[in-house]
A and B are shown apart, each in its own frame.
Chain A
Amino acid sequence: MSALQLENISKIYSPRRRGITDVLTGRRRSSGFQALDNVSLTVEHGEFFGLLGPNGAGKTTLISILAGLARATHGTAKVCGYDVVTDFRAARQSLGVVPQEIVYDPFFTVRETLRLQSGYFGLRKNDDWIDEVLTNLGLIDKADANMRALSGGMKRRVLVAQALVHRPPVIILDEPTAGVDVDLRRTLWDFISRLNKDGHTVLLTTHYLEEAEALCGRIAMLKRGRIIALDTTEALLAQVGGHDLEDAFVRFMNGDRVEEAA
């Protein structure tokens, strides 16, 4: 049983409904937007897996399908062997997701936020683990601060803490270091690497390719909803002869464009 399994996943977002102005001007209803096109992917337990691609490639859609925030148009997705639709409870209990956007509930303090998130997973007495997560993410002295009072970087740390509050075997980080300082990056990667060493599977999307190169054992590259490369980081570098992942990434993306043009 794999940590993450996607089989022939396609996602077409429904077209916008025709409004009165569309009817009056005779504008046709669009056919929808295909975000993912027949994606199949398996991530094994204990892997540190990178999902790379330009903006709009389908990374967040893929994560949303795994997290139950979006439904695949075709195909099946499983987390730790549990189908994300038919066995959604077990699938979501097995998964922690750090969303891309910094979002928070302004009514609560950091500790209240984590206790609530813990409670949503049905964990009442979880303070020991919450304290451990707070300490490891450098949040312990902000535990009683209201979420509104935190800086952007601190809020992002809380997002990470919320994803880890039920100690999930699989952790998905959707661009967790976008716009954050060096200190948080180091703290975050130290902690996530330690969790990975302890057996947690990590799926990471990032635009910082040096981070992906340093951390990820295997990488998939997405372009326009399709996987165009999938292998170990070393093998990917060897395939295109790039001297680093950024170079290889550019070559894969451009090579694909040449292929399509031909």
Chain B
Amino acid sequence: MSSTPVLQRRDDMGSGFPTLLRKELQRFWKVAFQTIAAPVLTSLLYLLIFAHVLEDRVQVYEGVPYTSFLIPGLMMMSMLQNAFANPSSSLIQSRITGNLVFILLPPLSHLEIYGAYLLAAIARGICCGVGVWLVAMLFISLPVHNAGWLIAFSVLSCGVMANLGIIAGLWSEKFDQLAAFQNFLILPATFLSGVFYSIHSLPPFWQAVSHWNPVFYMIDGFRHGFFDASDVSPWHSLAVVSVVFILLSLYTLRLLARGYKLRN
């Protein structure tokens, strides 16, 4: 046995949270063509097709052209889908390639891991939303009525989807399980929530169903920030989205604290 003095751990170690956040941001930023430009292009195609077909036939709010009505919905849809995709794809890729161990070995708490994945997902979602808005502005002017509503609904809605993305990423052991989560839950919830229409145009039964879909409140509240008009009060929408965010956050934190499918 060595007679050298007992080594101690370094005393200059801080939190690993900033690095994990930076890594999760870099992960999508390094492939921004795929993670930001592609969703923006998809939204642009929806905009061109739907606006071309429905511009002269549909008017949802008084004095608001259909194309203008559509843009916030497409922005929010893009934000939601990408906020979900960021943590879910990161977690499942790391799990399948095995490099998840690199964040499990360091002294990162479940709160730090949660915070990094959440904030990176929100950042990617907002990048996509802003991208859709900027490209849409090339075709039609869409002034902001109330930036506060836009920021609140963007952040909270991306936060909700980030939580779902973390849950899906932890739960899924294979890519097809994640694809099922995405195709059978996230995609229908975002499409059937008023992206392309006002729920007032639906039959009463489907209106009632829509009120049970939290994504409806995300899009409706977000639209209020542009048009000062919405299907339900923005305060009502904010309350629903906030409660969903808090409940999902608590559940996600519990899974991470337990090490669900991370630590045997």
Contact = CB atoms under 8 A, between A and B. Distances in A.
Given A116-B23, A119-B18, 14 more contacts: A46-B4, A47-B1, A69-B263, A70-B263, A70-B264, A93-B10, A93-B13, A105-B102, A122-B14, A123-B14, A166-B13, A197-B4, A199-B5, A201-B7
Interface stretch (B104-112, B157-165, B178-186, B205-213): B104-112
B107 A217 contact: no
A117 B7 contact: no
B102 A120 contact: yes
A68 B2 contact: no
Interface stretch (B66-74, B93-101, B117-125, B147-155): B93-101
Nearest to A201: B7
A103 B98 contact: yes
Contacts of A95: 105
15 contacts: A45-B6, A46-B2, A69-B104, A94-B9, A103-B99, A116-B23, A119-B16, A122-B19, A166-B9, A166-B13, A168-B9, A198-B4, A199-B4, A199-B5, A199-B6
B22 interface: yes
A101 B4 contact: no
A122 B99 contact: no
Given A99-B101, A104-B99, A107-B30, A123 B1 contact: no
A159 B254 CA distance: 30
Chain A binding site: helix, strand, loop or mixed by DSSP? loop
Contacts of A92: 105-107
A6 interface: no
A64 interface: yes
A208 interface: no
Interface of A: 13, 44-47, 64, 67-71, 80, 88-95, 97, 99, 101, 103-107, 116-124, 162, 166-169, 196-201, 217
Interface residues of B, number: 39
B1 A217 contact: yes
A107 B14 contact: no
B2 A166 contact: no
Contacts of B98: 99, 101, 103
Q: Which of A45, A88, A121, A168 has the most CB of B within 10 A?
A: A121
Contacts of B107: 88-93, 121-122
A28 to B, nearest CB: 22
Q: Which of B4, B8, B99, B105 has the most CB atoms of chain A within a 10 A radius of its CB?
A: B105
B7 A123 contact: no
Nearest to A218: B1
B103 interface: yes
A236 to B, nearest CB: 16
A45 B99 CA distance: 29
